[in-house]
Structure 1
Amino acid sequence: MTKDAVTLSVNGSQREIASDTRQLLVDVLREDLDLKATHVGCLSGDCGACSVLVDGEVRKSCLNLAVSMQGADIRTLDGWADNVLARLQAAFISTNAFQCGFCTSGMLMAAYDLLRRNPRPDTLEIRKAISGNLCRCTGYEPIIRAIQQAIDE
C-alpha cells in the first residue's frame, strides 16, 4: 500500500497526513485526524451522515478521496462554529430535532448550506435541501421545524 503526504485544510487548520491514495475523506477525517462528528453510514452517498462542506458546498465525504481534497477548504462540525451554525444547533436542541443523533451532523451541514445560499427558504426548499440525508428516528418534521426556527431567529 502506497502512502503519500497529503495536506488538507480542515476547519481552518492545515493538517498533513500520510494517506493511502485510495483512502476516503470520511476515513481520513475520523481515523487520521480524530474528527468524529462526521459519521460513517452507508459508504454509498445515500444517507448523508458523512456530509461536510468542501469549498462552501455540501459533499458526501464517503464519495471523495482524501488526496483529491488538497487545496480545498474542508469544514466539519468538529471545532468550527459561526452564527448560522450556532442558531441551527440551538434550534435542533430546542425542538428535539434529533433522537439517536446519527444523522444530525449531516442534517446540520445540509441546513447550513441551504441558509448560506438562501437565508429565507420556504418549507419546500428546506425539504429539498435535506432530501439527501436519511433520518430513521424523527420523521423529519422536527428537523424542518428546527430549520424554520433558526431562520426566524
Structure 2
Amino acid sequence: NNFYEFGSHKQIADAAQRLRTRPWEIRIDGEVDKPLTFGIDELIKQMGVEERLYRLRCVETWAMAIPWTGFPLSKLVALAQPKPGSRYVLMTSFQDSTVASGQRQFWYPWPYTEGMTMAEAQNELAFMVTGAYGKPLAKQFGAPLRLALPWKYGFKSIKS
C-alpha cells in the first residue's frame, strides 16, 4: 500500500508513526450550502461506523480483501448539502513536510489531491475508512481517515 507522503518505497511504517493524528481536523467547503469543520473524533461519533469487506486492488497486480470500519461517504456529502449543479468532490491530504519526508520530493505538487464525480461520492459503496481488522486505522495505512473506492485502484484512495 503506497503512501507517497512518506516516500516512494514500501517501508514507510516507521516514518508514518511520526504523524500526529490527534487533534485532526476535517474541513468541507466549496460549492456547498453548509460548510463544515469537524475534529476526527467528533466526525466519527456523528457518522457512526459500520464494517464492510472490500477488495483492495493495486496497480502492482496484487489484491486483498480487507474488513474496513468506517462510514459511507454519501452521508458526509449529504451533511454538507452540495449546491445544485455541483459535479465534483476534491479531497486534499495533509501537508507537513517536517513529518512526511516524501512531501519534499519535487515530482508531485503536494499536498496530494484526489477528485471524483459527485455520482462517485454519492455511490453507496464509497466509504470513509476509520479502521481495519477491527482496530483503529494504522498510521501507515492512512490514519486517521482514508477513502475506499472498491471500483478503483488503491492509489486513488486518498489517505490522511
**Larger helix proportion of the pair:** 1
Higher share in strand: 2
Higher RCO (C-alpha 8 Å, min separation 6): 2
Scaled by the length of structure 1, the TM-score of the pair is 0.26
